[in-house]
Structures are given as structure tokens and as C-alpha cells.
């Protein structure tokens, strides 16, 4: 069955300009994203309804009066039917109005908290990736070029060893061995208010290094594998035989092909980097989205929890879409495949 | 003995004050206990000095004024170490416990050390912190006097105190605060009721108690944190960041609830005059280890509290000053004595078995590395004046524990869950307790919950017991607490709050749901007995009753540790999370 589809897709691709294919691809992916979002909405709506314990009791405290509990339950919307709760949540997503926080920061608009945390996470993620991606890709390229030498083994094994350390453990090690003895490195990821950009980056160095420790081996190995595959390809051999320099072969032929898996992986990891670095955020006392969501869970602040989870999910979807588009830009065959997806 | 001097000191004093003087004269209490007791009873320093002189034991520390000395309390700083030159100005940054945002910066409903520390910068207590770590006339009251049976107390308020919005502080503010405390039963149930306080003039407050109480000033002091004095029109539930006010030395400039960071600047109208520092920043840390690392790296100047387990390196750092305030702090094991009905912990023999099985020495030596003492299953710290030292210490006796379990019908053991919060070394203690219980056949895996969640969910959760149809009762504040768990208690200079809130029937922190008419009666006697000897006798009975009934297993009292960089001087702390920076300097 796959062959006729592929053939028809090729015909379609031949007949239609690439711009149209790209537009169709984006529309299709956005449609799929909407379905994913709808499923997520249902799950997030159900959380307070099926989570153990009474959400109102958690928010109002153990000794709250029945009147206060009823008031909180009403405020949470838990007296409404599940479909009504779902509709209200969907409306919140499209209006970006999730109301006010109950307990993470009582009375504060939820989106203010989420935007602030998101900004902090974005700062850390962008800075970390600015360090992680070049170093990891370079490591992968070198390992592939020096395949089966001690350099290759050192890069692969060091990366593997570092990847096996959980990021929060890596964070603790960095605190103990760098932050405490060397004043240049900072314990706290968050710089004091009013700090300049350089000071802010100085505070982010150790969290970024912790991310590097976790991701270096992973990305380097993927890059290495892609590069080896590309190096052993016919077009690479032809390029070398044509007398192109190694640098030119890497730049013009190898890198573009070898990095496609790396880009795809980074796309899927970006969502995790935004919402999943809770341990690291705790170790470096950094107020990112991950710790905001955990606080919301701890304190049963469902408006904040819902907004945080949904925003991270949207980032995740946008990141994977962007990664696919970049891969398509890097690879003409992938562009052709867009129409057949 | 100089009887003339003694008689002059006694003259005009109330009966309870005279009894304290005579107790000291007759050797029933030592000098230290007399000073503490005298301070609580409102005996002025010159009068106490006269009594000490009359009894012939005073010369080394003769106080000369009502105001205590301004020495830093509870510091282990070597006396011969050259102090840094006091300097005006400077900013101080302190790592504190992340507060519970559920209660917010609400002075009446707060529950954690982080919030205590933040709110006590702007608000003040009626009775403040003395130089020796006890209570003293260092806050809004300049003195207090009981009537003859200590059923009525008169407080004289400091003059010229202003709220931060410029309105004058008056006795009406104190009366309203006391009313609010009574309304929410902030540890004062049965002591006074709303509306019972009189305000004859703007600087005098007369508290009419439900029954005599010799420890009343402690209940309106820094050691009952929820007694912060707020304006008369301050509605319960109002938070400081919504309404910035207070009479204290520091004005809240900003508060970020997500990071629990509060920034303060000096209050130019503070009654105590100008402070040295330019600003104080209290910064919440979710991880105690990160706060300690931040202090070790000098990114912050001080940490509110640290455990030996996490911050042992600070103890060996010559450039860190460690403060050890008086501490009756403890992490006790509670047993829900009522639920589940007919469950294992509803039988006192099972609770006693746990007490016999717990390895107290191991907890003291490993978890606290010696910075603690073994306790005897009651909350009366040996430093309390009423402590009865004649009670025999419960030993560790596995065979006895097994026998008790067998007698209770649990010879084959049973399964339960040990609930704890993730605060400090509590999970470490829980791990030891779990192993100890396994030795007698009780399987009690530890469930660790974030502390902010723990209080509302497992400790003092709900009102299930007593509000069910079969009992038809009004419901208990802690009815649905976990079967067994470990909860932390901060320091108090007297056991009143521990008794009233955590052990008295219907106490709002009574996670054990301990329900004993005998205990309640003894507590009533304890509060109303001014005589030192009689008080110790009653306390001894309470100690033994608690050891027998075992609503809680109090295995140890640990030393509270607070630390700051040696460039900082003059910080005053309590083992209840308070940090006072009014006299602080930074070199």
C-alpha cells in the first residue's frame, strides 16, 4: 500500500511547486497540532477531577471551614460539568486568560506568572543551546572524522558517561567544584534584579554547563552517526574524488546531511528543556516554567498548572514543527516528502 | 541573705511576682530560671538585680535598666575575635525557607519559618526578644504586670510608635490583634476570648483572662509567631504585600511570591531610631543545600537555618559565624490516636512499642551529629523552668516493644505509611524510624511530600474524625491526619503553645487527635499555677501522662543553627526562624 501512495506523492510533488507543498505541510501539521492540543485539553481538564485528594482542601488548607471549601471549589469551576470545564479551558487557551493564581502567587494573573517563568526558561534554554549545540555538533563531527581512533572513543565515552549523570546531580557537582571555590561561577541561576546581560549570562553558566553535560553525549553521538553515514555515501566519495578539500566536503555536502537527525532531535528536546528541567531549576534556585508547574502541582493551583502545561505543550509542538521545516530546508528529498506525509 | 533588700524588692509586687522571688530565695529555682521567670512575670531588671543581690549571687551580671543589653544572643563567635568595625550602610541578602504561599504573607495564618522571618521585619510583637534569647521588653510593650493571681495582665505600650502609613499606634491596635487571635484560636484557646481586652488609655492594655496564666507574656511574644501586632482595621486574611504596613524597622518594598523574595528598606519613622543597613533582602530557597552553597560562595550573607547534614561544612568555616539560639526544636512522631477506628495506633501499647523501638541515640549521633539531645516522649525541654528531671528516660528495648505489640494483638506486625515533609533532616529521621520499626515487624515505608503540601494534606488535614454521622461531633481540626508521621516544631520558651495547640483536645495542631480529659485538666492547672514547685509537680504529671498515653514520640531536641558571613555583625535570631537586623552591620 505504501508504494502507490509514494508514487502518487511523487507525481503530486512533480506537478506542484514546492511552496504549495510546504504550505500544505504546514497546514496539515497545524491541524494535527490542534488535535494534540484538544487531547491535552481533555487531560488537563480532567486532572483536578481525578487527582487524589480534594483540590479545594489543598488550596484552602487543612483547617478551612466548609464555607471556604465550597467557595474555592466554586472558584476552581469544579461544580461545573466536565464538558463545561473543557469549554471554559478552551476559551482560556484562545484568550490567554487563565484567571488568577490560587496558591502559587495568590491573586496574581496566571499568565503574568507563566510569561515571567517562560521568559526565564527561554533565557536559560537559548543560552544553554548556544553552548550545547556547537560543542556537541563539533564533537560529533570530529568523532566521525576520527572514527575508531582514541579521539572518537574519548568523545563518545566521555559524552556517554556525562549523559548518565542526572542533570540535577550534575548541577550539584558543578556547585561543589566550581561555584563554591571560584567566585566567577554563581550558585544561583537568577541574577539580581537590574543586572546587565553579562551578569545574567554569568549566572546562567553553570545551569548551561549542566545541560551540556547531559546533552553533549546524546547530540554528539547522533551527529557522529549521521556524519559517518554521510561520509560513507556516494556523493561524499564523489566529492573527495573530485578533489574538494575536506573542509569543503564537510561544509557543502556532509554537514547539511549529517545534521538533519540532530535538528530533529533538538526539536523534540526543546519542549523538555522548557518544562522538564525541574531538578536543575531547584538546584540553581531558578524560577523557570518547570518549577512553576511543580509548585502548581504541590499547591493544587490548577489554573497555573493548566496554563503552564498547555504553554509548554504549544512550545513543544512549535519546536517540532520548526525542526521539520528546517530539515526540509536542509534536504531537498525531505521537501519532496512533505507532500506525501 | 540581705532581708532588708529582699523586702524592699518584694514591696508592692503582685503575688505571683513575690512567689517567684521567694522560689529563688528558697532555692527552688536557680538564678537563670529566676531571671527567665521574672522576665515573663514582668519583674523589672533592677528589681531582679536587687533580689539577686539580697540572696547573694548577683554580682557577675547586674542589669541596670529595663532594657536588656544589646549583645548578640546565642552566638558561638569567639569572644576574643576582633569584631569588624561597625559601618553604616550596606545591603544584606539572606537565604530563607520558601514560605507557604497558601497562607501568603498573612500575619495571623502563617505556618512556616520563611513567612515568620518575612513578616517580623515589618510587624512587631507586643513582647520581644531578650538578649539571652528569652523574652524581653524590646518590642511594643515596655513592661507588663500581672494581678495577684495572674488572671489579669496590664501591658504598658511604647509611646511615639507610628504605623508606616503615618497613623499612631495605640492600644486599640493591640486589642484588635488579641481579638483576632482569639477568633482563630491562634494558640490561645481558653486563655482569653475576643472582646475581653480593655484599653483604659492609648498606651495601656489590660488583658482579662479566662483563668489565671503565669506564662501569658510568652503567648503574646515573638515565640508565638502569629501574635504579630497589626492595625485595628487589619482584617484576618490580609497579606502584607497587599497592604504594606507595620511598626517595625523595615518597610516592604517588593515581594515576589513565586521566588518568595522580599526586599525591605529602613523605616525612617521607626521608634528605635535609624538602622545601619540600607536594605535587607530575604530570598526563598527551595533547596537548603543551594542556600548553603550560596552562602559558602558568598552570594548571600546569611542563611536563616541549616541542618548539620546539609551544612556541616559551614561549622568548620572560620569565616562563618554560627548562631545557636535557645532551642527546644523537635521533630516529633505523631500517631493518629483516633483514625482509622480500631486501627493499630488507636492502642497506646502500639504507640509505646514504637517509642521503645526508636533508636534515639542513633538519631542524635548520625542525623544531628551530636547537635541534639535525647528526649523522653514529651515536649518539655530540660531548660524549661517547670521541667521535672525525675522522670526516668525511656530506654531502647526491642523485646519490650515486641511484647507490647503482641499484647495489643499485633504480634505479627502490620503495615502502615510514615508520612513526612521534605524539610531539613526529617526524611533522614524517617529512614531511621522505618528501619527501627522493621525490627519489631512494623512495615512503615516513608512517604516524603513537599513541605508546602504536607501540612494541609497529611498533617492536620481535614476534620473527618468527629464530624462523621456516627459520632455527630463538631469535627476535629486535625481529624484526618495520617496514621503516623513526623512534624517539625520550632522553639518556644515555655511549653504552653506545645500543650495548647498540639496536645490539648481540639488543639488546631493536634495531629494525634489526642483526646484526654486528664491532660486537659493538668494543662489547665499548669497555666493557672503560679507557684514554681507546684508548677513543676504538674508538669511532671503531664510528662508521665504523655509518656504513658504516647500521642507523640518525641525522640530528640535538636540545636537550631543559623549562619552568616563574619563580615556581618549584630544579627539576632530565634530558633523559630526570626532574624532581626535592627542592630546589624556589614563591614
Whether residue B461 and residue A57 make contact (CB cut-off 8 A), yes or no, is yes
Kindly indicate the confidence band of residue B212, based on its pLDDT and cuts at 50, 70 and 90: confident
pLDDT at residue B109 tops 90: no
Please give the pLDDT value at position B72.
37
Kind plus residue range of the DSSP H or E element containing A305:
helix A302-330
Kindly indicate the confidence band of residue B10, based on its pLDDT and cuts at 50, 70 and 90: confident
Please give the pLDDT value at position B468.
37
User: Please, which residues 487-516 of chain B have a Cβ atom closer than 8 Å to chain A?
Assistant: 508
- Could you give the CA distance from residue B321 to residue B303 in angstroms, rounded to a whole number? 11
Using a CB-CB cut-off of 8 Å, the residues of chain A touching B474 are none
CA contacts within 13 A on the Cβ side of B428: 16
Please give the pLDDT value at position B70.
32
**Which has the higher per-residue pLDDT, B3 or B472?**
B3
Instruction: Identify the weakest region by mean pLDDT among A60-69, A105-114, A127-136, B546-555.
Output: A60-69
pLDDT at residue A14 tops 60: no
Instruction: Report yes or no: B352 and B502 within 8 Å, Cβ to Cβ.
Output: no
Mean pLDDT of B495-505: 90
- Considering B71-85, B279-293, B526-540, the range whose residues carry the highest mean pLDDT is B279-293
pLDDT at residue B29 tops 80: no
- pTM for the whole thing? 0.78
Mean pLDDT (chain A) is: 83
Kindly indicate the confidence band of residue B573, based on its pLDDT and cuts at 50, 70 and 90: very high
Percent of chain A with pLDDT over 90: 25
Please give the pLDDT value at position B39.
76
- Could you give the CA distance from residue B525 to residue B541 in angstroms, rounded to a whole number? 11
Please give the pLDDT value at position A302.
86
Q: What is the ipTM of this complex?
A: 0.73
Q: B313, B433, B436, B292: which is closest to B369 by C-alpha?
A: B313
Contacts of B287 (CB under 8 A, 6+ apart): A282, A283, A285
Structure-block grid coordinates of residue B16: 505571683
pLDDT at residue A253 tops 70: yes
pLDDT at residue B28 tops 60: yes
Instruction: Name the residue in chain A with its Cα closest to that of B239.
Output: A106
pLDDT at residue B298 tops 50: yes
Please indicate if any CB of chain A lies within 8 Å of the CB of B4.
no
Tens of pLDDT along B233-254? 998 778 898 899 999 999 999 9
Please indicate if any CB of chain A lies within 8 Å of the CB of B317.
no
Kindly indicate the confidence band of residue A18, based on its pLDDT and cuts at 50, 70 and 90: low
Instruction: Name the residue in chain A with its Cα closest to that of B242.
Output: A107
Please give the pLDDT value at position B388.
92
Paired sense of beta strands B330-335 and B484-489, if any: antiparallel
Tens of pLDDT along A254-293? 887 778 888 888 888 887 888 778 888 989 999 999 989 9
How close B257 gets to chain A, by Cα (Å)?
5
pLDDT at residue A163 tops 60: yes
Using a CB-CB cut-off of 8 Å, the residues of chain A touching B259 are 190, 285, 287
Kindly indicate the confidence band of residue B508, based on its pLDDT and cuts at 50, 70 and 90: confident
pLDDT at residue A61 tops 80: no
pLDDT at residue B75 tops 60: no
Please give the pLDDT value at position B73.
40
pLDDT at residue A116 tops 70: yes
Kindly indicate the confidence band of residue B80, based on its pLDDT and cuts at 50, 70 and 90: very low
**Which has the higher per-residue pLDDT, B445 or B286?**
B445
pLDDT at residue B89 tops 50: yes
Using a CB-CB cut-off of 8 Å, the residues of chain A touching B290 are 175, 187-188, 282-285
Q: Bridge partners of B219?
A: none
How close A73 gets to chain B, by Cα (Å)?
15
- Write the DSSP string, A191-238: PPTT--HHHHHHHHHHHHHHHHHHHHHHHHHHHHHHHHHHHTSHHHHH
Whether residue B297 and residue A179 make contact (CB cut-off 8 A), yes or no, is yes
Out of B294, B452, B460, closest to residue A188 by CB: B294
pLDDT at residue B536 tops 60: yes
How close B396 gets to chain A, by Cα (Å)?
34
Instruction: Identify the weakest region by mean pLDDT among A47-61, B36-50, B376-390.
Output: A47-61
Say how many Å lie between the first and final Cα of chain B, rounded: 48
Tens of pLDDT along B418-464? 999 888 889 999 999 999 999 999 999 999 987 766 776 788 765 55
Instruction: Report yes or no: B404 and B350 within 8 Å, Cβ to Cβ.
Output: yes
Tell which of B102, B336, B450 to mutate to test the A interface (max A CBs under 10 Å).
B102
pLDDT at residue B266 tops 80: yes
- Could you give the CA distance from residue A193 to residue B263 in angstroms, rounded to a whole number? 11
Instruction: Report yes or no: B375 and B360 within 8 Å, Cβ to Cβ.
Output: yes
B288 φ, ψ to 5°? -60, -35
Out of A105, A116, A187, closest to residue B293 by CB: A187
Out of A104, A108, A283, closest to residue B287 by CB: A283
Please give the pLDDT value at position A334.
65
Using a CB-CB cut-off of 8 Å, the residues of chain B touching A186 are 297, 299
Whether residue A283 and residue B477 make contact (CB cut-off 8 A), yes or no, is no
Instruction: Name the residue in chain A with its Cα closest to that of B463.
Output: A63
Structure-block grid coordinates of residue B419: 508520612
SS3 of B417, please?
coil
Kindly indicate the confidence band of residue B174, based on its pLDDT and cuts at 50, 70 and 90: very high
- Could you give the CA distance from residue A185 to residue A202 in angstroms, rounded to a whole number? 7
- Could you give the CA distance from residue B574 to residue B264 in angstroms, rounded to a whole number? 20
Tens of pLDDT along B463-484? 554 443 344 444 566 777 889 9
- Could you give the CA distance from residue A132 to residue A208 in angstroms, rounded to a whole number? 8
User: Please, which residues 93-112 of chain B have a Cβ atom closer than 8 Å to chain A?
Assistant: 101-104, 109
Mean pLDDT (chain B) is: 86
Please indicate if any CB of chain A lies within 8 Å of the CB of B459.
yes
Please give the pLDDT value at position B45.
76
Using a CB-CB cut-off of 8 Å, the residues of chain A touching B110 are none
Please give the pLDDT value at position B102.
64
Cis peptide before B340 (omega within 30 of 0): yes
B28 φ, ψ to 5°? -75, -30
Please give the pLDDT value at position B465.
47
Mean pLDDT of B268-274: 93
pLDDT at residue B62 tops 50: no
Instruction: Name the residue in chain A with its Cα closest to that of B508.
Output: A63
Please give the pLDDT value at position B552.
96
pLDDT at residue A198 tops 80: yes
Percent of chain B with pLDDT over 70: 90
Whether residue A105 and residue B257 make contact (CB cut-off 8 A), yes or no, is yes
CA distances from A83 to A40, A73, A152, B353 (A): 14, 17, 56, 52
Which residues of A touch chain B, with CB atoms under 8 Å apart? Answer: 53, 57-63, 103-108, 113, 116-117, 172, 175-176, 179-180, 183, 185-188, 190, 282-285, 287, 291-292, 295, 298-299
User: At how many degrees (to 10) do helices A110-145 and A260-275 cross?
Assistant: 150
pLDDT at residue B118 tops 60: yes
Kindly indicate the confidence band of residue A152, based on its pLDDT and cuts at 50, 70 and 90: very high
Amino acid at each position: 500500500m505504501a508504494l502507490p501512495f509514494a508514487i502518487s506523492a511523487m507525481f503530486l510533488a512533480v506537478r506542484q511547486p514546492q511552496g504549495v507543498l510546504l504550505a500544505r505541510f504546514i497546514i496539515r501539521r497545524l491541524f494535527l497540532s490542534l488535535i494534540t492540543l484538544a487531547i491535552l485539553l481533555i487531560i488537563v481538564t480532567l486532572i483536578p477531577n481525578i487527582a487524589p485528594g480534594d483540590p479545594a482542601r489543598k488550596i484552602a488548607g487543612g483547617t478551612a471551614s466548609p464555607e471556604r471549601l465550597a467557595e474555592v471549589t466554586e472558584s476552581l469551576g469544579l461544580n461545573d460539568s466536565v464538558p463545561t470545564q473543557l469549554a471554559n479551558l478552551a476559551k482560556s487557551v484562545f484568550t490567554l486568560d487563565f484567571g488568577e493564581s490560587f496558591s502559587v502567587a495568590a491573586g496574581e494573573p496566571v499568565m503574568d506568572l507563566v510569561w515571567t517563568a517562560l521568559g526565564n526558561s527561554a533565557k536559560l534554554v537559548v543560552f544553554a543551546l548556544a553552548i550545547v549545540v556547537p560543542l556537541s555538533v563539533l564533537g560529533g563531527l570530529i568523532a566521525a572524522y576520527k572514527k575508531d581512533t582514541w579521539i572518537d572513543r574519548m568523545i563518545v565515552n566521555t559524552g556517554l558517561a556525562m549523559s548518565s549523570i542526572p542533570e540535577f546531580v550534575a548541577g550539584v557537582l558543578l556547585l561543589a567544584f566550581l561555584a563554591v571555590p571560584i567566585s566567577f561561577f554563581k550558585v544561583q541561576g537568577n541574577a539580581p534584579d537590574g543586572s546587565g546581560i553579562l551578569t545574567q549570562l554569568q549566572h546562567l553558566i553553570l545551569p548551561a554547563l549542566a545541560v551540556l553535560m547531559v546533552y553533549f553525549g546524546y547530540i554528539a553521538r547522533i551527529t557522529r552517526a549521521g556524519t559517518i553515514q554521510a561520509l560513507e555515501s556516494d556523493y561524499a566519495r564523489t566529492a573527495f574524488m573530485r578533489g574538494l578539500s575536506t573542509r569543503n566536503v564537510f561544509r557543502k555536502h556532509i554537514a547539511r546531511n549529517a545534521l538533519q537527525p540532530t535538528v530533529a532531535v533538538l526539536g523534540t528536546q526543546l519542549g523538555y528543556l522548557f518544562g522538564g528541567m525541574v531538578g536543575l531549576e531547584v538546584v540553581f534556585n531558578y524560577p523557570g516554567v518547570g518549577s512553576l508547574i511543580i509548585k502548581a502541582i504541590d499547591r493544587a493551583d490548577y489554573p497555573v498548572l493548566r496554563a503552564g502545561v498547555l504553554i509548554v505543550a504549544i512550545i513543544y509542538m512549535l519546536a517540532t514543527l520548526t525542526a521539520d521545516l528546517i530539515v526540509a530546508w536542509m534536504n531537498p528529498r525531505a521537501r519532496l516528502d512533505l507532500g506525501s506525509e | 541573705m540581705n532581708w532588708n533588700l529582699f523586702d524592699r524588692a518584694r514591696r508592692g509586687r503582685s503575688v505571683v511576682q513575690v512567689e517567684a522571688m521567694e522560689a529563688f530565695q528558697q532555692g527552688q529555682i536557680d538564678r537563670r530560671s529566676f531571671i527567665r521567670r521574672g522576665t515573663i512575670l514582668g519583674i523589672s531588671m533592677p528589681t531582679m538585680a536587687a533580689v539577686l543581690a539580697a540572696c547573694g549571687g548577683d554580682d557577675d551580671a547586674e542589669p541596670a535598666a529595663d532594657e536588656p543589653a544589646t549583645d548578640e544572643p546565642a552566638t558561638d563567635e569567639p569572644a576574643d575575635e576582633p569584631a569588624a568595625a561597625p559601618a553604616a550602610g550596606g545591603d544584606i541578602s539572606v537565604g530563607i525557607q520558601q514560605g507557604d504561599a497558601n497562607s501568603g504573607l498573612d500575619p495571623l495564618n502563617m505556618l512556616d519559618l520563611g513567612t515568620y522571618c518575612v513578616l517580623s521585619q515589618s510587624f512587631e510583637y507586643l513582647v520581644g526578644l531578650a538578649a539571652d534569647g528569652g523574652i524581653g521588653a524590646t518590642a511594643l510593650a515596655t513592661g507588663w504586670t500581672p494581678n495577684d493571681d495572674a488572671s489579669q495582665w496590664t501591658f504598658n505600650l511604647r509611646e511615639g510608635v507610628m504605623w508606616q502609613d503615618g497613623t499612631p499606634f495605640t492600644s486599640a491596635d493591640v486589642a484588635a490583634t488579641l481579638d483576632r487571635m482569639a477568633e482563630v484560636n491562634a494558640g490561645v484557646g481558653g486563655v482569653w476570648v475576643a472582646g475581653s481586652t480593655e484599653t483604659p488609655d492609648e498606651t495601656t492594655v489590660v488583658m482579662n483572662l479566662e483563668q489565671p496564666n503565669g506564662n501569658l507574656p510568652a503567648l503574646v511574644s515573638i515565640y508565638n509567631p502569629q501574635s504579630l501586632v497589626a492595625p485595628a482595621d487589619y482584617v484576618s486574611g490580609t497579606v502584607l504585600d497587599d497592604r504594606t504596613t507595620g511598626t517595625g524597622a523595615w518597610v516592604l518594598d517588593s515581594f515576589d511570591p513565586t521566588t518568595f523574595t522580599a526586599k525591605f528598606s529602613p523605616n525612617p519613622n521607626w521608634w528605635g531610631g535609624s538602622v545601619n543597613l540600607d536594605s535587607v533582602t530575604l530570598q526563598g530557597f527551595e533547596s537548603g543545600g543551594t542556600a548553603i552553597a550560596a552562602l559558602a560562595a558568598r552570594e548571600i550573607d546569611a542563611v536563616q537555618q541549616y541542618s548539620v547534614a546539609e551544612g556541616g561544612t559551614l561549622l568548620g568555616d572560620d569565616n562563618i559565624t554560627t548562631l545557636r539560639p535557645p532551642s527546644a526544636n523537635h521533630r516529633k512522631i505523631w500517631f493518629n490516636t483516633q483514625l482509622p477506628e480500631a486501627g493499630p495506633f488507636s492502642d497506646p501499647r502500639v504507640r509505646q512499642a514504637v517509642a521503645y523501638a526508636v533508636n534515639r541515640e542513633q538519631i542524635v549521633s548520625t542525623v544531628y551529629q551530636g547537635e541534639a539531645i535525647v528526649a523522653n516522649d514529651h515536649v518539655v525541654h530540660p531548660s524549661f523552668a517547670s521541667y521535672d528531671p525525675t522522670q526516668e528516660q525511656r530506654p531502647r528495648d526491642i523485646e519490650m516493644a515486641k511484647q507490647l505489640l503482641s499484647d495489643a494483638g499485633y504480634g505479627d506486625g502490620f503495615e502502615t505509611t510514615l508520612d513526612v515533609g521534605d524539610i531539613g533532616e526529617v526524611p533522614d529521621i524517617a529512614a531511621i524510624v522505618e528501619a527501627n520499626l522493621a525490627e519489631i515487624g512494623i512495615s512503615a515505608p516513608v512517604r516524603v511530600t513537599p513541605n508546602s503540601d504536607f501540612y494541609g494534606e497529611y498533617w492536620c488535614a481535614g476534620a473527618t474524625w468527629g464530624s462523621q454521622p456516627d459520632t455527630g461531633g463538631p469535627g476535629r481540626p486535625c481529624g484526618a491526619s495520617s496514621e503516623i508521621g513526623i512534624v517539625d516544631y520550632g522553639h518556644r520558651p515555655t511549653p504552653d503553645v506545645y500543650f495548647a495547640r498540639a496536645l490539648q483536645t481540639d488543639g488546631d495542631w493536634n495531629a494525634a487527635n489526642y483526646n484526654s480529659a486528664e491532660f486537659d485538666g493538668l494543662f489547665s492547672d499548669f497555666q493557672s499555677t503560679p507557684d514554681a514547685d507546684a508548677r513543676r509537680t504538674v508538669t511532671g504529671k503531664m510528662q508521665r501522662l504523655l509518656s504513658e498515653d504516647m500521642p507523640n514520640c518525641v525522640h530528640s531536641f535538636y540545636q537550631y543553627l543559623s549562619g552568616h558571613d563574619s563580615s556581618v555583625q549584630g544579627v539576632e535570631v530565634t530558633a523559630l526562624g526570626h532574624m532581626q537586623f535592627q542592630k546589624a552591620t556589614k563591614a
